[in-house]
Amino acid sequence: MATTAIDGRPALDVSHKRVILASSLGTVFEWYDFYLYGSLAVIIGHQFFSGLNEASQLVFALLAFAAGFAVRPFGALVFGRVGDLVGRKYTFLITIVIMGLSTFFVGLLPSYGSIGVAAPVILILLRMLQGLALGGEYGGAATYVAEHAPPGKRGLYTSFIQITATFGLFLSLLVILGCKWLLGDKFDDWGWRVPFLLSSLLLIVSVYIRLQLAESPVFQQMKNEGKTSKAPLTESFARWGNLKLVLLALFGATAGQAVVWYCGQFYAMYFLGSTLRIDATTTQLLIAAALLIGTPFFVVFGWLSDKIGRKPVVLAGCLLAALTYFPIFQGLTHFGNPAIEAASASAPITVVADPADCHLQINLTGTSVFTSSCDIAKSTLAKRGVPYTNEAAPAGSVARVTVGGASVDSFDGSALPKAEFAAQSKAFGASLGGVLDQAGYPAKAAPANSNYPMLILLLFLLVLYVTMVYGPIAAWLVEMFPTRIRYTSMSLPYHIGNGWFGGFLPSVSFGIVALTGNIYSGLWYPVVIAMMTFVIGLFFVRETKDVDITA
């Protein structure tokens, strides 16, 4: 591969551009594999968590989704070490094979109805393998591209790696929509498996692409000179000078970036579908439209960060998100399903119950049944996706739900036989449902009442914040750390931020909503984290756009 020297550093000629394009395409396919699950979380909840009540299925589907994120930092440690010891190219090959095979086997996995509790257990294990692979992917891709880029263009060229995550999500949505269109009603039954099985074709393409890559010239030169690290983990995390940089990268950069990313794409998608009751296909089309319009801004903000710095662009995205999330999501309700807004204003809902009777309805094995009167009332409301407030009642009293001037008593099912409990639950659901219908709470969003252009505009704003925080982040992280331990050092804070702070956002936020009954209360999680990153980044993290990364 030809290189040209610029101040002693490798420049990006046509051959390098082809290599970087190949690297980016391989990363798109890896993100496609990872995000298929998130795009199909509702269906997967029905398939693999059917032993739970309906209110808990989505929560557990999201928790299984988050399991992949939980192990990403461990993947960063394992593969980051390999990348700093052996090289970037070979680590790419390992991660793509693990990711592709794990995704393919999700498509083959029998449902809960076929093999019982083994189904969600195996599903979570496959998600963890995906997370381990992804934990080794990003740091390598970002490092590889940055180490090829000439000075003054690292933000621009690494921004193409940033696009890959959104392109992967976009591709997964397009494949899902195509399968739904071809298979119709069969999609929810078995057709959802097809996008997972198609990943085998993408795996072949991705492996071929990765085999064409040459090693990073910066790393290869260091290896030839015998200057590579012998103990990347020790140098990265056991020495305070570098560990301090890792902590600042986590709390002052990646944590806020992560919550803005996941709130602007995944949480918005779940909010439209599960809370606003907009049908799945329309939701996916709206998200896809916003992504299509917003994706070029990854490159715009990556380029801008080369001009004015990484820090002002990323921190501005965090600040704007924190200040505007509440009005934007309220706008999504207003333009997506105004009937919820109108009904909650004219006939607010209150659950009046003994607080000791109300539980967080999460049960991994599906063996527990939540039969208190408060749990029954909240579970029924959660299925309808309606907002409510809580009011304490005297100890031992039976919960009741007030809807405007109407009131419906729940019942205590703890001592009832299974058949009688089911019958009373059905009767209570029908009674409460009738009151909700009469008060104007919709079971589904009416398409005629949705303002789709405004929804796309608001979703585009969310995606724009994503591009602000994500476009420059790879260059910023690469520039914080020395070459000999760069892969390891940058991978861990990135994947703790995105795997833990970001990956758990949907389940944490929906848990907050279920606990409070306020459909917007889950936004406090990304708002607080984004503001934390803004403050720490502003005062403690340095600007890096002009540093020499060959050291």
**Token representation of residue 449:** 């009442």
Tokens of 505: 């956002």
CATH fold of the domain at 341-439: Glutaredoxin (3.40.30)
Query: Would you tell me how many other CB atoms lie within 10 Å of the CB of residue 144?
Result: 30
Say which residues have a Cβ less than 8 Å from residue 276's Cβ, sequence separation at least 6: 332, 333, 336, 337, 340, 385, 445
What secondary structure, in 3-state letters, does 25-41 show? HHHHHHHHHHHHHHHCH
Buried b (16+ CB within 10 A) or exposed e, 244-266: ebbbbbbbbbbbbbbbbbbbbbb
pLDDT of the residue at 282: 93
**Nearest Cα to Cα of residue 91 among 151, 35, 142:** 142
Q: Rounded distance, CA 42 to CA 465, Å? A: 26
Sign of CA dihedral 185, 190, 193, 198: negative
Asked whether this chain's domains 13-337+448-540 and 341-439 adopt the same fold, the reply is no
pLDDT of residue 458: 98
| Tokens read off for 538 | 């502003």
- Model's pTM, two decimal places? 0.83
The Cα–Cα gap between 474 and 27 comes to 14
**Residues whose CB falls within 8 Å of the CB of residue 244, separated by 6 or more in sequence, listed in order:** none
Report the DSSP pairing between strands 9-10 and 5-6: antiparallel
* Residue 239 per-residue DSSP state: S
What is the Cα 155 distance to its own chain's centre?
23
CA 412 to chain centre: 37
Q: What does each of the 551 residues of the chain score in pLDDT, given as a tens digit? A: 333 333 444 444 565 566 666 667 667 776 787 678 777 877 888 888 776 655 566 667 767 777 777 788 888 888 888 877 777 777 878 888 888 898 899 899 998 888 888 888 898 899 889 888 888 877 777 777 787 778 888 898 888 887 877 788 788 888 988 999 999 889 989 999 999 999 888 788 878 877 777 776 667 777 776 767 777 888 888 888 889 999 999 999 999 999 999 999 889 988 998 889 999 889 988 998 998 899 899 999 999 999 999 999 999 999 999 999 999 999 999 999 999 989 999 999 999 999 988 876 654 444 456 788 998 888 788 778 789 999 999 998 999 999 998 999 999 988 888 788 888 888 998 999 999 999 999 988 999 999 999 999 999 999 999 999 999 998 999 999 888 888 888 888 988 888 788 878 877 887 788 778 888 999 999 999 999 999 999 999 999 998 887 76
The pLDDT value recorded for residue 480 is 93
Pairing of strands 400-403, 389-392: unpaired
Per-domain residue ranges of the chain: 13-337+448-540, 341-439
The residues, any chain, with a CB within 8 Å of residue 81's CB and separated by 6 or more, are: 232, 233, 488
Please give the mean pLDDT across all residues of the chain. Answer: 84
Question: What is the reported pLDDT for 53?
Answer: 58
Pairing of strands 349-353, 389-392: parallel
- pLDDT for 3: 39
Pick the CATH number of 13-337+448-540 from 1.10.730.10, 3.40.120.10, 1.20.1250.20, 1.10.486.10: 1.20.1250.20
Report the alpha-carbon angle 368-188-366, nearest 5: 5
Whether residue 40 contacts residue 269, with contact meaning beta carbons closer than 8 Å, is answered with: no
